[in-house]
């Protein structure tokens, strides 16, 4: 197909090789997706438990325990969302800017939904601290955040379809207030994330039960119920994963298995999905220290599973764009390694600093606790 569909590429060359941007994009997107699934899944489970749990019950205790962690998780949803957005603008700016303008009203709406949803998480946490019911706040926040996910799924799909832009742009009068008609891939990718989020939420609840201080019955509830829900929704997510693949156009499906990123990504995702499912199911059934080990393994496997899904997603995006004449690898590069080097050194230093800080804080907390005891 003709490149007439696409805006012209920016004349300034890329300041680093495409592969480096790809690595950075994929690594940070994986972290973002983990955080996204934790917030959506954690909030759903906590809201339902708060709604149905009677005051003083393990269910209510578990819901309060989860919701108090969610503002911090949300901080990292946003923080980890920044670099993938940055790197995708470098690599896919021509398509991403255009599709964003075409649904401009909805795209900017994301911000206001996010602010409201995030703020409600703090308020819900405050109410939980005060021993008051908060499920309705959680529900509103969940609806807002889920709609953000819906807009994202729509835009990330629309950016792959330049042939749809003009008609939508004209129909909305340039304001971007018209959503595209449902694409066969949008619903499965939305469900893949949201169902996966429930699986993640289950695993996270089980981890919370294992690693944080709770009464015995709350700990048991978090581990058992979290494990059960984690296993069930991970299984459903695997079906959604196949649906995402099956819904792709023939040209993408044909190229997918020949793409190393797609091939290894899909295998990574499938293997670690099974590993996560098996270990969380076993972790919920077994008691004692082995349960803690299995739940931890499930958490790690879920992260690696997400890494596989992100790789497969990347291959699908590149193949879809290649079909309309956009080759992300075909870019002029004039690198400035001094700036890249400074970034990488600072990035590693920041991670080390945070790790040192967390260790120091943890140690100090124990000391203060002992002093007070």
Partner 1 sequence: MNYPFWDVPIIGSGWVLGGIAIFHVMVSHFAVGGGLYLPLAERKARLEGRDDWLEVLKKHSKFFLVLTGVFGAVTGVAIWFSIGLANPEATSTLIHNFVFGWAIEYVFFLVELTTAAIYYYTWDKISPGLHLKIGYLYAATSWLTLVIINGILTFMLTPGATWLGVAGSGSEASVFWYAFFNPTYFPSLILRTLVAVSLAAVWALVTTSRIDGFTQGKLKTSIVRWSVKWLIPSFLLMPVAFAWYLYMVPESGRQLMNLGISTIGAGTFTHVTRAILVSVMASATIAALAYFVAYRNPRTFKTGWALSVLFLAFAATAATEQAREMLRKPFVIGQFMYSNGIRKSEVEKFNREGYLTHTMWLSPETPDSPYRKVGGLPEADRTLLKGELMFRGQCASCHTRDGYRALGSLLRDRDEKSIRNIVQTLHEYKEDSPYRAFMPPLVGKEDEIEALVQYLRTLNAAPPKPEAPATQTARVDR
Residues 67-86 that bind partner 1 (CB under 8 A): 71-72, 75-76, 78-79, 81-83, 85-86
Is the CB of 253 or the CB of 331 nearer to partner 1? 331
Own/partner contacts of 144-148, CB < 8 Å, gap of 24 or more, are 144/113, 144/114, 144/116, 144/117, 144/120, 145/39, 145/40, 145/43, 145/113, 145/114, 145/117, 146/40, 146/194, 147/113, 148/110, 148/113, 148/114, 148/117
Q: Which of 239, 251, 285, 357 binds partner 1 (CB under 8 A)?
A: 357
Contact between 114 and partner 1 per CB under 8 A: yes
Is the CB of 93 or the CB of 260 nearer to partner 1? 93
Query: Residue 343 CB, nearest distance to partner 1 (Å)?
Result: 5
For residue 184, which of 113, 250, 273 has the smallest C-alpha distance? Answer: 250
Contact between 359 and partner 1 per CB under 8 A: no
Query: Who contacts 278 (Cβ-Cβ below 8 Å, separation ≥6)?
Result: none
Contact between 138 and partner 1 per CB under 8 A: no
Contact between 2 and partner 1 per CB under 8 A: yes
Binding to partner 1, residues 174-233 (CB under 8 A): 174-176
For 97-162, the three-class secondary structure string (H helix, E strand, C coil) is: HHHHHHCHHHHHHHHHHHHHHHHHHHHHHHHHHCCCCCHHHHHHHHHHHHHHHHHHHHHHHHCCCH
Contact between 170 and partner 1 per CB under 8 A: yes
Contact between 169 and partner 1 per CB under 8 A: yes
Is the CB of 178 or the CB of 275 nearer to partner 1? 178
SS3 58: helix
Give the interface segment with partner 1, choosing from 187-195, 243-251, 256-264, 352-360 (CB under 8 A).
352-360
User: What are the DSSP calls for 177-227, one per residue?
Assistant: --PPPPPTTHHHHHHHHHHHHHHHHHHHHHHHHHHS---HHHHHHHHHHHH
User: Bridge-partner residues for 14, per DSSP?
Assistant: 333
The residue written with tokens 């590693």 in the block is 348
Is the CB of 285 or the CB of 352 nearer to partner 1? 352
Is the CB of 7 or the CB of 184 nearer to partner 1? 7
Q: Tell me the two tokens of residue 169.
A: 């742009």
Is the CB of 172 or the CB of 273 nearer to partner 1? 172
Is the CB of 161 or the CB of 292 nearer to partner 1? 161
Query: Residue 108 CB, nearest distance to partner 1 (Å)?
Result: 6
Binding to partner 1, residues 91-110 (CB under 8 A): 93, 96-98, 100-102, 104, 107-108, 110
What gap in Å lies between CA 156 and CA 87, rounded to an integer?
A: 14
Residue 329 sits at φ, ψ, to 5 deg, of -80, -15
What gap in Å lies between CA 155 and CA 152, rounded to an integer?
A: 5
Query: Residue 103 CB, nearest distance to partner 1 (Å)?
Result: 10
Binding to partner 1, residues 247-306 (CB under 8 A): none
Q: Which of 23, 290, 335, 359 binds partner 1 (CB under 8 A)?
A: 335
Query: Residue 150 CB, nearest distance to partner 1 (Å)?
Result: 16
Contact between 152 and partner 1 per CB under 8 A: no
The residue written with tokens 């308020």 in the block is 123
The residue written with tokens 């891939």 in the block is 185
Cβ 32 vs Cβ 84: under 8 Å = yes
Binding to partner 1, residues 236-255 (CB under 8 A): none
Q: Tell me the two tokens of residue 53.
A: 């749990």
Is the CB of 99 or the CB of 223 nearer to partner 1? 99
Q: Which of 182, 239, 354, 359 binds partner 1 (CB under 8 A)?
A: 354
Is the CB of 67 or the CB of 191 nearer to partner 1? 67
């Amino acid at each position: 197909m003709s490149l007439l569909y696409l805006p012209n590429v920016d004349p300034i060359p890329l300041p680093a090789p495409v592969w480096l941007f790809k690595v950075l994009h994929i690594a940070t997107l994986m972290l973002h997706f983990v955080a996204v699934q934790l917030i959506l899944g954690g909030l759903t489970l906590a809201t339902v438990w708060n709604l149905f749990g009677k005051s003083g019950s393990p269910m209510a205790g578990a819901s309060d325990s989860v919701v108090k962690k969610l503002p911090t998780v949300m901080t990292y949803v946003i923080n980890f969302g920044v670099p993938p957005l940055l790197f995708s603008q470098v690599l896919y700016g021509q398509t991403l800017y255009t599709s964003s303008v075409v649904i401009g009203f909805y795209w900017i709406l994301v911000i206001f939904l996010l602010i409201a949803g995030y703020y409600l998480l703090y308020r819900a946490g405050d109410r939980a601290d005060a021993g008051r019911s908060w499920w309705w706040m959680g529900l509103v926040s969940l609806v807002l955040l889920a709609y953000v996910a819906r807009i994202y799924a729509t835009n990330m799909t629309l950016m792959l379809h330049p042939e749809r832009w003009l008609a939508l742009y004209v129909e909305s009068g340039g304001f971007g207030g018209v959503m595209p008609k449902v694409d066969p891939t949008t619903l499965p990718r939305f469900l893949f994330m949201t169902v996966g989020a429930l699986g993640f939420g289950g695993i996270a609840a089980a981890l919370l039960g294992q690693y944080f201080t709770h009464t015995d019955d709350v700990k048991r509830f978090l581990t058992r119920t979290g494990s059960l829900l984690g296993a069930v929704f991970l299984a459903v997510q695997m079906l959604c994963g196949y649906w995402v693949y099956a819904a792709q156009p023939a040209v993408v499906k044909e190229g997918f298995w020949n793409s190393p990123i797609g091939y290894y990504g899909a295998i990574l995702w499938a293997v670690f999905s099974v590993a996560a499912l098996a270990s969380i199911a076993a972790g919920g059934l077994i008691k004692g220290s082995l349960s803690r080990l299995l739940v931890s393994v499930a958490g790690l496997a879920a992260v690696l599973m997400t890494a596989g899904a992100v790789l497969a997603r990347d291959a699908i995006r590149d193949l879809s764009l290649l079909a309309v004449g956009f080759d992300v690898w075909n870019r002029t590069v004039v690198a400035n390694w001094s700036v890249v080097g400074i970034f990488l050194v600072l990035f590693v230093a920041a991670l080390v600093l945070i790790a040192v800080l967390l260790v120091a804080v943890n140690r100090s907390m124990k000391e203060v606790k002992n002093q007070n005891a």
